[in-house]
Structures are given as C-alpha cells and as structure tokens.
C-alpha cells in the first residue's frame, strides 16, 4: 500500500475519531507567537499568563530541562522560565507541555516514557548535528508516535501492544496496516501537519520506520528520519531481546546518513546513559 493511501486512510479515520484536540488557547498562542520574528518578552509573558495552567506547566518544564544542565538552577517564575527556554522557542515548548499532558493521560502503556526518552536523545543529537534547534528536537521526540492514540481509540486492547511493538522496528507498520489499513506514522503525519509543525518534521514522522533510508530523496527529510531512527537505536540498545537483528543494520544506516563516527555516537551515549 502506498504512503499516499496510508495517509488518506489516516485522514479519513481521524475525521471520524478526532482523538487528539489541542486546546484552542494553545493553538491561538502558537499562531500569535508565529507572528513575531523578534518576540517581545513582555508580550509573550502576557500571552502565556492568560492561562495559569500553561504558565505553571512552562515553569515546570523549564525546571525539568534545567536539571539536565551541568549547573541546574531552580526556576520560580514565568519570566525566569521564558528566559531559560528562550523567546524563539516558547511556541514549541507551549506545544510540548500540551503534548506531554496528553501522553501522560494516554492509556498506551509505555508511550509517554518512550516519547520522553526519544525527545531527550533527539536534543543531544540535534546539538551535534544542527538539524533542529533544541525546542524543535524535543517536540519532534514527544510527537513522533502520537499516531498510536488513534489505534488505542479504535481498539481498546491496542494500548497493551505498544511496548511489544518497539521490539520490531520494521514489522510494526505491517501489523498496523493489516489491522487498521494505515500506520501510526501516517496518522502522526496527518496530525502534526494539521497542527502546523515544520513540513520536514512531519514527513520524517511519516517515514520513521522506513527500512531503506536511501529511498528518501530529500536530504533534510532523510537526515531527520535517520536522526529519529538513531534515537531509537540508542534508546533500545541496552534492552534485552529488543531489535537484536535489526539494531546493527539500523545503526549503520543512520550514522552513515548523518555522517557520524563511532566516537561521535559514543559521546552522545555518555550524555543519554550517564
Ligand atoms: Fe514509531
Ligand atoms: Fe518510537
């Protein structure tokens, strides 16, 4: 089945089962922030402060990210949170806190944990590769498997299969297609396109279980896809019985596309598995 057909089926299903709805104020805030090339801190503070929950969530996220720095500091105010997260990144982090809540509330076992682990690794990889900024990389990780939400809605037993699906990176699409006529990657693509995420990021989500990266003609999309797949290798390589046959192939392909050496990857490994 072609990718186009998978996307079409995903779009039809989402029209009938709108499983994830981003709150209106978050979408409005994102659109408003898009208007400012050089955002004014007081304007952003004013916008964020219209939702006390959002403001609190941003402070909590800033604290969480600060803990990963060599010299973590306690962030107590929205001003300090905006300062720490960076003006240009706030629109991505506003989105991140919303997605994080949805992941935490999801019945899909292991999805929230997996998404955060991948997001953290993508942040480290993005610093090395300069393909995305830190905020975009974190969001990329959080949303990459968001399409699973739809299958959890269609089949109440599906949430229990997510962790098992991680053991077979290439097979998971075939299984999903046989059951639902589409894949979590195609569903995630439609969702993230609708939310207005960067086109290359949406396409990398669509392709993130691709077994032959050479088939991806666009260099940016190929590299983002490789970055996401390499993050899976680094997240799963220490687990027993996972991807034993697929891991080495996935690893070699991705580091070749990304132009990374074994030393580069070891450096990332030390950061993600300290
Ligand atoms: Fe996936
Ligand atoms: Fe994943």
Encode pLDDT of 178-192 as tens digits: 999 999 999 999 999
Encode pLDDT of 143-190 as tens digits: 999 999 999 989 888 878 888 787 778 788 988 999 999 999 999 999
Q: How far is the CA of 58 from the centre of ligand 1 (A)?
A: 26
Residues 53 and 15 in one domain: no
130 φ, ψ (degrees, to nearest 5): 55, 35
3-state secondary structure 14-52: HHHCCCCCCCHHHHHHHHHHHHCCCCCHHHHHHHHHCCH
Q: How far is the CA of 26 from the centre of ligand 2 (A)?
A: 25
Predicted TM-score (pTM) of this structure: 0.89
The residue behind tokens 């699906």 is 165
Residues 27 and 15 in one domain: no
Euclidean distance between CA atoms 85 and 184, whole angstroms: 30
Residues 126 and 258 in one domain: yes
Domain end among 79, 105, 131? 105
Q: How far is the CA of 46 from the centre of ligand 2 (A)?
A: 35
For the chain, the domain total comes to 2
Residues 90 and 189 in one domain: no
Residues 130 and 237 in one domain: yes
Domain end among 48, 80, 105? 105
Residues 79 and 120 in one domain: no
Q: How far is the CA of 45 from the centre of ligand 1 (A)?
A: 35
Residues 96 and 136 in one domain: no
Domain end among 56, 82, 105? 105
Domain that holds residue 145: 1-19+109-274
Query: How wide is the angle at C-alpha 212 spanned by C-alphas 230 and 148, nearest 5°?
Result: 60
């Amino acid at each position: 089945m072609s990718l186009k057909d998978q996307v079409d089926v995903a779009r039809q299903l989402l029209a009938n089962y709108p499983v994830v709805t981003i709150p209106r104020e978050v979408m409005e805030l994102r659109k408003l922030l898009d208007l400012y090339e050089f955002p004014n801190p007081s304007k952003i503070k004013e916008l964020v402060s219209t939702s006390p929950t959002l403001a609190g969530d941003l402070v909590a996220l800033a604290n969480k990210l600060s803990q990963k720095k060599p010299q973590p500091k306690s962030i107590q105010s929205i001003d300090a949170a905006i300062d720490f997260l960076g003006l240009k990144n706030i629109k991505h982090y506003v989105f991140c806190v919303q997605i994080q809540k949805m992941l935490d509330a999801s019945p899909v076992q292991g999805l929230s944990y997996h998404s955060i682990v991948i997001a953290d690794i993508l942040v480290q990889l993005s610093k090395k590769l300069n393909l995305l900024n830190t905020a975009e990389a974190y969001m990329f990780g959080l949303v990459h498997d968001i399409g699973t939400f739809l299958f959890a809605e269609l089949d109440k037993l599906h949430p229990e299969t997510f962790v098992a699906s991680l053991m077979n990176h290439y097979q998971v699409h075939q299984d999903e297609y046989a059951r639902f006529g589409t894949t979590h990657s195609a569903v995630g693509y439609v969702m993230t396109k609708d939310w207005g995420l960067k086109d290359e990021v949406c396409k990398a989500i669509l392709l993130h279980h691709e077994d032959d990266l050479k088939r991806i003609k666009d260099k940016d999309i190929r590299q983002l896809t490789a970055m996401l797949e390499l993050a899976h290798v680094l997240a799963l390589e220490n687990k027993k019985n996972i991807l034993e046959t697929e891991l080495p192939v996935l690893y070699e392909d991705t580091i070749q596309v990304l132009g990374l050496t074994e030393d580069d990857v070891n450096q990332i490994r030390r950061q993600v598995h300290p």
